[in-house]
Amino acid sequence: MDAADLAVRRCKPCERGVAPLTANESSSLLKHVKGWALENGTIAKTYHFKNYYETMAFVNATAWISHREDHHPDIAVGYNQCKVSYVTHAINGLSENDFICAAKLDALFDL
């Protein structure tokens, strides 16, 4: 599996009772999403842009992807940067959905 494989997958609903990924599973998936890091129980990445307009265009695209996948990140926005953090709140940990969405955001730069 690679980032392209993750990017074409769809998120699956996570219900209480579904176990979060183990540390080994998370580390394995993390290898497929360049620049993302484990951070306080989430995966996170800061994207950098030339200006505020590009930053906001990315934020809007992120919102669209998140709505489509029904999997929503925390987003911190600055003038020329945007930090995105994913965790699956319903299971209080990481799921494959977090990595799928991370790969989809990264794929925006290949458009």
Give the CATH number for residue 86.
3.30.1360.20
- The total of structural domains in the chain comes to 1
Domain that holds residue 69: 3-110
Residue 60 has pLDDT above 70, yes or no: yes
Residue-wise pLDDT tens digits, 10-22: 767 676 678 999 9
pTM assigned to the model? 0.89
CA gap 5, 15 in Å, rounded: 24
pLDDT at residue 110 in the model = 72
Residue 111 has pLDDT above 60, yes or no: no
Average pLDDT for residues 26-45, to the nearest whole number? 96
CA gap 104, 67 in Å, rounded: 13
CA angle, corner 37, sides to 83 and 76, nearest 5? 10
